[in-house]
Structure 1
Amino acid sequence: MDTAHKLEQHRVWLETNGKNGELFTLIGADLSQVDFRFANVSGAKLSGANLSFANLSFATLSVADLREANLSLATLSIADLREADLSGSNLTGSNLSGSDLREANLSGSDLREANLSFSNLTGSNLSLAYLEGAKLKGANLSAANLSKAYLKGANFKGANLKGANLSEANLYGSDLREADLSIANLSGADLGIANLSGANLSSANLSGADLSVAYLHRSNFTGTNLSGAYLKGANLKEVNLSFANLSFANLVGAKLSGAFVQNTIFRSNSGISELLKQDLIDRGAIFENA
């Protein structure tokens, strides 16, 4: 297979808007270990292709069809993958650091142990994707769809998840330190033993979320919907809960000393002792009848 010739024909195809040359099409082909560095393969059809161990750093694959492709352990650092269709693809252990994945479709893809640090995933679709142990430090995931994604143990430290959809996502044991989760949808999410230290969750939806044994030191829950959330035994010391809604939340044994509770809504049967209840009222909390 003369890959260089095919790439040259694709270049001509792009430059002439399809009048000359030929679209790069290698559906189901074995392209493992091929060097695509700096190549422009935008719009290429590579569904089902084997690109494991391939080097695609600095390559342009915008709007490319990579459905169910094997990109395990591939190098895609600083690659242009805008609007690419990577649904159902295998990207385990791949290096996507600094890549542009805006509006890309990664639904159902396997990104376990992948490196997506500082990548741009704005508006991307990662619903039902597997990202266990993935590195997303400093990544931009604003308005991304991560609903029902498996994110156990993933590193989101300092990531931008503003307005992201994380409903019913598994974030058990994930690192979300200093992440921006403002106005994000985390309803029904599993955040057990997750590290949310210094995270911004203002105006987020965490209704029905499980925050058991989560680390919440100095996190911001201003105006957050925590109704029905599981916070049994949670350490909420120094946490900003102002204007938050904790009605129907399970707060049995929760530590709330030093928490900011101005206009925070609680339910009288939330598991809070009468002594703590009065202290919270004195600090501006609102208790509604059950």
Structure 2
Amino acid sequence: MTAYNKEEIIHQLESHQLWIDTLGKEGNKLGFDEVDFCNIDIDLIKYPLDQAYLTACTFDGMNLYGKDMHSSLICSSTFITTNLENADFYKADVSYVDFTNANVKNARYAKSDCSEAIFIKADLTNAKLISCSLYLTDFREATLKNVDVSSSSFKGVLLKGAKLSGIKGLEDAFIKSINIGTPEIPILIEGEEAVQWIINNCSTDEQI
């Protein structure tokens, strides 16, 4: 992990705020790589994280309720057990991001790249996954209740053990394949059969 002290990080966060407020005329766009925010005494709720570069950073266990991270490059970062309820990842790159056990209720991932993102045991109740790239995205044992997947592309999406109910937009999604096995031992179902499998396995309380 890259070492920054608290003052350096706050300075960059404030510079990013100025960059946003002045439409890029002043300040600097935020850019952090491999920074562990978990052990730094900074309340990130106070600072903007949208339109930023936050690659391979660690946000595990933090409270980022309602955080706006739209249009940010967040790939390979981790949000394990993080509270991201009502967070906004519109047009963000969250490829390879680890959201294991995260609370992402009501979060917006519309037009996001979620390729190989991990949502194992995450709660995505009412999340918006509209027009997303879901390539090898891992939803094993995740709660996918009332999730909107309109116009999203599915390929190799892992769904073993997921809790599905009230899925919206299936008729508009581009579902090439889903994986009801594991990455090591895949069980792929393609096309209309994949859509029908999702419909057949939707329920309120029971796991797949």
TM-score interval, smaller chain: 0.7 to 0.9
Counterparts in 2 of 1:56-67, with a 5 A limit? none
C-alpha separation between the residues in 1 aligned to 2:203 and 2:34?
45
Higher relative contact order (CA 8 A, sep 6+): 2
C-alpha separation between the residues in 2 aligned to 1:207 and 1:88?
35
- The equivalent residue for 2:4 is 39
2:175 counterpart of 1:216: yes
- The equivalent residue for 2:143 is 185
Question: CA shift at 1:105, angstroms?
Answer: 1.8
8 A contact 2:136–2:158 mirrored in 1: yes
C-alpha separation between the residues in 2 aligned to 1:117 and 1:213?
27
SS in 2 for 1:76: strand
User: For the structure 1 residues 45 and 246, does the alpha-carbon distance in structure 2 shift closer, same or farther, using more than 3 Å as the test?
Assistant: closer
Q: Return 78-87 or 116-125, whichever deviates more.
A: 78-87
The percent identity for this pair of structures is: 23
Provide, for residues 194-248 of structure 1, a one-character-per-residue CA deviation record: whole Å limited to 9, x for no partner.
11210001221220011232122220357xxxxxxxxxxxx42367939x53479
SS in 2 for 1:186: strand
8 A contact 1:158–1:179 mirrored in 2: yes
User: For the structure 1 residues 41 and 97, does the alpha-carbon distance in structure 2 shift closer, same or farther, using more than 3 Å as the test?
Assistant: same
1:237 to 174, 193, 199: 193
C-alpha separation between the residues in 1 aligned to 2:141 and 2:129?
17
8 A contact 2:164–2:203 mirrored in 1: no
- The equivalent residue for 2:24 is none
1:74 to 11, 16, 30: 30
1:52 to 16, 21, 46: 16
- Report the AA paired with residue 143 of structure 2: N
Question: CA shift at 1:116, angstroms?
Answer: 0.8
Gaps spanning 5+ residues in structure 1: where? 1-36, 55-70, 223-234, 249-264, 266-290
Alignment: residue pair count: 182
- Report the AA paired with residue 81 of structure 1: F
C-alpha separation between the residues in 1 aligned to 2:78 and 2:103?
13
RMSD: 3.2
Question: CA shift at 1:163, angstroms?
Answer: 0.7
C-alpha separation between the residues in 2 aligned to 1:238 and 1:209?
14
TM-score (structure 2 length as normaliser): 0.75
- The equivalent residue for 1:97 is 55
User: For the structure 1 residues 106 and 73, does the alpha-carbon distance in structure 2 shift closer, same or farther, using more than 3 Å as the test?
Assistant: farther
- Report the AA paired with residue 16 of structure 2: S
Gaps spanning 5+ residues in structure 2: where? 19-26, 182-190
TM-score (structure 1 length as normaliser): 0.55
- Report the AA paired with residue 40 of structure 1: N
Counterparts in 2 of 1:1-290, with a 5 A limit? 38-41=3-6, 50-52=14-16, 73-82=29-38, 85-87=43-45, 89-210=47-168, 211-221=170-180, 235-237=191-193, 241=197, 245-246=201-202
8 A contact 1:188–1:207 mirrored in 2: yes
8 A contact 1:198–1:216 mirrored in 2: no
8 A contact 1:89–1:109 mirrored in 2: no
- Report the AA paired with residue 91 of structure 2: G
8 A contact 2:165–2:203 mirrored in 1: no
Any runs of at least 4 consecutive aligned residues in structure 1 with deviations exceeding 6 A, and if so which? Answer: none
C-alpha separation between the residues in 2 aligned to 1:163 and 1:247?
17
